[in-house]
């Protein structure tokens, strides 16, 4: 099985090619540019570098969220179009789980993305198993959950804003990876993508934002009592 996997969920862009469970090539950039400009050329170049064609791809794996709304829309749209056009399988994996997968450490692994105003997208993993449902919530809720545990903790992702607080709360229990040390390695997404069951209906595949977009919130505010996504999409 030949796999094309990519992650556009945040500022870093990662594109991987794998055959079965062997990663053949990885392209990664952390330059702050529009993924709508970068993604397709990156796919084209990495496929050509392996002397593959797009028609060789059997499965497309994409980071489904959470993360940047714009980045997720770009990644998911490209993945759907490619899978549909090529007749390939389509799988979505958690952007947080991708980071957790690449950390081999005892104790708890906590990937997080800064969602502003002291809110985060976060999960908690132990031995590769989620023990804290991925969610969008105040950082204090996440810390309260971790304070009730005894294990060492590895934080990764958007840690910069919270690193001092993490160190104060958890002391020697905490290992805090910087954002640079947390860049997706292109391997975790392939590993998770191989474990996923392909989506049955490509057209119904959507980003997993873990919270409503501002446009949805504005629409709901203008339509009290009508919190129905299908109405929002139809009317917009």
What CATH code is carried by the domain that includes residue 139? 3.30.420.40
Q: Are 17 and 50 part of one and the same domain?
A: yes
Q: Does the pLDDT at position 157 exceed 60?
A: yes
Under 8 Å CB-to-CB from 33, ≥6 apart: which residues?
Answer: none
* Number of domains into which the chain is organized: 2
Are residues 7 and 87 located together in one domain of the fold? yes
Is the pLDDT at 191 greater than 90? The verdict is yes
Same domain assignment for residues 114 and 81: no
Residue 233 lies in a domain: no
Residue 216 pLDDT level (bands cut at 50, 70, 90)? low
**What pLDDT, on the 0 to 100 scale, is given for residue 225?**
72
pLDDT of residue 193: 97
Q: What is the mean pLDDT of residues 79-97?
A: 98
Q: Render the burial of 122-159: b for 16+ CB within 10 Å, e for the rest.
A: bbbbeeeeeebebeebebeebbebbeebeeebbbbbbb
Q: Inform me whether the pLDDT recorded for 220 exceeds 70.
A: no
pLDDT for 174 equals 97
Judged against a pLDDT cut of 50, whether residue 235 lies above it is answered with: no
The confidence score (pLDDT) of residue 127 equals 93
Mean pLDDT of 195-207: 96
d(CA 68, CA 126): 25
Predicted local confidence at residue 231, as pLDDT = 47
Residue 232's pLDDT band, with cuts at 50, 70 and 90, is very low
Mean pLDDT computed over every residue of the chain: 91
Rounded distance, CA 19 to CA 182, Å? 25
**In angstroms, what is the C-alpha Rg of the chain?**
18
The half-sphere exposure of 3 on its side-chain side, counting CA atoms within 13 A, is: 31
Task: Look at residue 236 in the predicted model and tell me its pLDDT.
Answer: 36
CA contacts within 13 A on the Cβ side of 220: 11
Residue 24: pLDDT above 80?
A: yes
pLDDT of residue 217: 52
Dist CA 112 CA 125 (whole Å): 11
Domain range spanning residue 139? 104-176
- pLDDT one-digit tens code per residue, 120-142: 999 999 999 999 999 999 999 99
> 133 and 211: one domain?
no
């Amino acid at each position: 099985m030949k796999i094309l996997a990519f992650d556009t969920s945040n500022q870093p862009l990662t594109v991987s090619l794998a055959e079965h469970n062997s990663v053949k090539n990885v392209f990664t950039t952390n330059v702050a540019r529009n993924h709508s400009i970068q993604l397709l050329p990156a796919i084209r170049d990495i496929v050509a570098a392996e002397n593959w064609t797009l028609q060789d791809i059997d499965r497309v794996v994409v980071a489904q969220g959470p993360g940047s709304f714009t980045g997720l829309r770009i990644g998911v749209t490209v993945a759907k179009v490619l899978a549909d056009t090529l007749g390939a399988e389509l799988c979505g994996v958690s952007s947080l789980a991708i980071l957790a997968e690449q950390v081999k450490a005892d104790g708890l692994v906590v990937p997080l993305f800064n969602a502003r105003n002291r809110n985060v997208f976060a999960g908690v993993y132990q031995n590769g198993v989620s023990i804290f449902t991925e969610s969008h919530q105040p950082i204090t809720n996440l810390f309260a959950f971790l304070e009730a545990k005894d294990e060492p903790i590895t934080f990764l992702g958007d840690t910069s804003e919270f690193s001092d607080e993490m160190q104060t709360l958890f002391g020697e229990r905490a290992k805090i990876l910087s954002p640079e040390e947390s860049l997706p390695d292109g391997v975790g997404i392939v590993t998770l993508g191989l474990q996923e069951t392909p989506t049955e209906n490509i057209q119904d595949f959507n980003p997993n934002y873990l919270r409503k977009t501002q446009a949805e919130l504005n629409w709901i505010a203008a339509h009290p009592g009508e919190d129905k996504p299908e109405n929002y999409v139809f009317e917009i």
